[in-house]
Amino acid sequence: MAEDGVTREEVLAALDRLSAWPDMARSPQIVRFLDYIVRHRLDDDIQSIKAYSIAVDVFGRSADFDPQSDPIVRVQARRMRQLFDQYYAGPGAEDTVRIVLPVGRYVPDFIEHVVEPAGVVDEEGSEPDLTPPASRRGHVTVSWLVLLVIAIGAAALAYSLSTWGPRQDQQVARNGAIQQPSIRIMEFQNLTDDPTITAAVAGLAVDLVDRMQTLNFLNVDYGGRGEIGGQGLPKDGYTLTGIVRRDPATQVNYQYSVLVTEVATNNVIWNRTMVVSGSQLADTNRIEALSIDITSVLGSARGPLHARARHLLMQGAPTGGESPYVCRIMFSIYRETMTAAAADRTQACYAALPEQDQNNGIALAAVASIIAEAPGNRDVTPAARLGRYREAGDMLVQAVQALPTSSFVWEQRARLYEAMAEHALAEAAYGTALQTNPANLDAVAAHARHLAFIGRLDQAEPLAERSLSGPMTIPDWYYGVPALAALETGDFSQAEQFADTYARADREVGPILAILAAQGQGDEEQVARELPRVLEVPSFRAGGIITQLRRRITDTALLDRIRMGLAEAGVPQMSLVTAF
């Protein structure tokens, strides 16, 4: 039943417009809620529009649902009213039929909205003559002068608003007011008719909280089934919500849909849909696999939760507002670029922290890696290198003692062992890093590269494929294994593309792989372009190319291939094994 003067068809049309509005459509739960109360109201079934019925029929709550202890319906109703206000103040301003949800009840009203005509009507009911009086040619009237002033003011305001965001961001960067993000993880909603998967649905949120709380650069809490809004979260915080429903394509499998929403704007910044079969869901390890898949993105320093901080820090280092979180994101930027400038900025950030924060396990591990890797340092004598390794090793011992369960710390320790040619110890440390946090894609990619260099390419390829599958910024150094794999299969065109990318991060091995790929294609011009890059590497000039590479690569077949390729390119035999 519709209201007086409003037909059922008009209400359903209004419902369709509201449901299709992007800001409403982003929340399937609210769309279902809206559809439920509107259709029951139209059918005059007001008795079904109760908190209990809505909770059970719309939100999948069990028969023992208690509205007093679980506020899901009240929360969603409040969000719906907010969305109504936004819609009818914006895209729905001209709608002649509106759906209204009065405060304190869930039964909607349908009202006619009279849209005022563009003209102004006088008291007699006729529109006044708005034609301006004729003016003398060449004379600027007062009204036109006023309009000109208004136009100039509007342009200035528009410019001010358009530059306010960037100027504000720059000011934030200068002041160092970049805060560690906070995220609230809500219990997933079971929208299926299968109560046997309830544990698998509820368990995912808890597992996500457990995993993400150990990352040291996120504030994470569990929202359960309670308030879905951002109460208690910072204004720039986030919420993670999700549903499980029957897969529309098969009606047999289950579809997990995950949304991360920014509290301040209610904008969805990331989403993912995953489909699993019933047998997979019954596997006790399946929830863990789903959790790892989500955490590999949200738990990454290059993930969507840190996009704003990364954007600001790419514009310049903070001044006077350094924090462990800011330094950690700066280290992530360094790890992507591996430049001396990024290393210096990151070390300066950590050096500016209070002493207590400098001795944190994450800080010690990050600085240790920069010291060991020494990007841009041309002092490559064995004594200098051993001195750096010794200093980095001492710091990593302290880091492990401070944070023995940190995947990040163990990853940096593995990298140091790898640089020291302690390959068995490196493998053990990579194993610990991935056991501690299987979602650490940097550790996955670094482990894959190490496996490839020690002759276990078959084991490296699946790990490399996994590290490249994350929908985030992919560092250049991730492409080392794909380049080696393409060389192995003879796909030299693909190998050349991967090697060119990898060479930006690895000055030693990257250009050599590019030479091998170019030789495979008979591209002598590319060989000639890459060869100077190899001969300019300080570590090669200090001790010989193959001599240096033996520290990193124990795969004798790969070393032989490199030796023959460089000799074919014109590198003197002595330069391969001695200083030049």
Encode the chain (580 residues) as per-residue pLDDT tens digits: 555 578 999 999 999 999 988 878 867 778 889 999 999 999 888 888 988 889 888 887 777 777 665 667 877 888 788 889 889 988 998 899 999 998 778 999 999 887 655 444 444 444 434 333 343 333 334 343 444 444 444 444 444 444 444 444 444 444 446 889 999 999 898 898 888 888 778 888 888 998 898 888 899 988 876 554 556 677 779 999 999 998 888 888 899 999 999 988 889 999 989 888 878 877 767 788 889 999 999 999 999 999 989 989 987 766 677 899 999 999 999 998 888 999 999 999 999 999 999 999 999 999 999 999 988 777 778 888 899 999 999 999 999 999 999 999 999 999 999 999 999 999 999 999 999 999 999 999 999 999 999 999 999 999 999 999 865 678 999 999 999 999 999 999 999 999 999 999 999 999 999 999 999 999 999 999 999 999 999 999 988 999 999 999 999 999 999 999 999 999 999 999 999 9
Is residue 368 located within the same domain as residue 451? no
**CA dist., res. 91 & res. 108, Å (int):** 20
Boundary residue ending a domain (307, 325, 346): 307
**CA dist., res. 472 & res. 493, Å (int):** 25
> Where are the extended beta strands (E) located within 321-436?
none
Residue 453 resides in a domain: yes
**CA dist., res. 396 & res. 422, Å (int):** 15
> How many CB atoms lie under 10 A from the CB of residue 443?
27
Is residue 186 located within the same domain as residue 247? yes
For the chain, helix, strand, coil in percent to 5 are 60, 10, 35
By CB atoms closer than 10 A (0-12, 13-18, 19+), residue 43 is: exposed
Contact 545, 571 (CB under 8 A): yes
Contact 312, 169 (CB under 8 A): yes
Copy the structure tokens of residue 400.
Answer: 């492990």
Is residue 511 located within the same domain as residue 424? no
Contact 170, 315 (CB under 8 A): yes
Letter string b/e over residues 236-267, b meaning 16 or more CB atoms within 10 A of that residue's CB: ebbbbbbbbeebeeeeebbbbbbbbbbbeebe
Boundary residue ending a domain (405, 423, 438): 438
pLDDT value of residue 466? 92
Report the first-to-last Cα separation within the chain, whole angstroms: 91
Question: What is the Cα 8 distance to its own chain's centre?
Answer: 44
**CA dist., res. 186 & res. 173, Å (int):** 31
Is residue 453 located within the same domain as residue 536? yes
Is residue 401 located within the same domain as residue 530? no
pLDDT value of residue 356? 93
Is residue 409 located within the same domain as residue 449? no
Residue 117 resides in a domain: no
Structural domain count, the chain: 4
**CA dist., res. 280 & res. 265, Å (int):** 36
Residue 455, phi-psi category: left (phi > 0), alpha (psi -120 to 50), beta (remainder): left
Q: Among 569, 563, 532, 531, which residue's Cα sits nearest to residue 546?
A: 563
Residue 174 resides in a domain: no
Q: Which long-range contacts (CB under 8 A, 24 or more apart) does 14-18 make?
A: 14/95, 14/97, 14/98, 14/99, 14/110, 15/99, 17/92, 17/95, 18/84, 18/87, 18/92, 18/99
Is residue 431 located within the same domain as residue 474? no
pLDDT value of residue 508? 94
* E strand or H helix that includes residue 220: strand 219-224
Is residue 456 located within the same domain as residue 569? yes
Contact 423, 454 (CB under 8 A): yes
- CATH number at 242 reads 3.40.50
Copy the structure tokens of residue 485.
Answer: 């794999």
Residue 165 resides in a domain: no
- According to DSSP, residue 26 is labeled T
Is residue 349 located within the same domain as residue 434? yes
Place of tokens 């190998």: 495
- What residues contact residue 307 under an 8 Å CB cut-off, 6+ apart? 269
Residue 164 resides in a domain: no
Residue 445 resides in a domain: yes
- What residues contact residue 473 under an 8 Å CB cut-off, 6+ apart? 302, 336
- According to DSSP, residue 46 is labeled G
- CATH number at 393 reads 1.25.40.10
Is residue 381 located within the same domain as residue 513? no
| Amino acid symbol at 151 | A
Residue 144 resides in a domain: no
Copy the structure tokens of residue 168.
Answer: 């504000």
**CA dist., res. 258 & res. 260, Å (int):** 7
- CATH number at 502 reads 1.25.40
Residue 130 resides in a domain: no
The residue range of the domain holding 463 is 440-580
Tally of residues, the chain = 580
**CA dist., res. 199 & res. 434, Å (int):** 26
Please name every residue paired with 170 in a beta bridge, in sequence order, or none if there are none: none
Is residue 464 located within the same domain as residue 573? yes
Boundary residue ending a domain (387, 417, 438): 438
Is residue 425 located within the same domain as residue 554? no
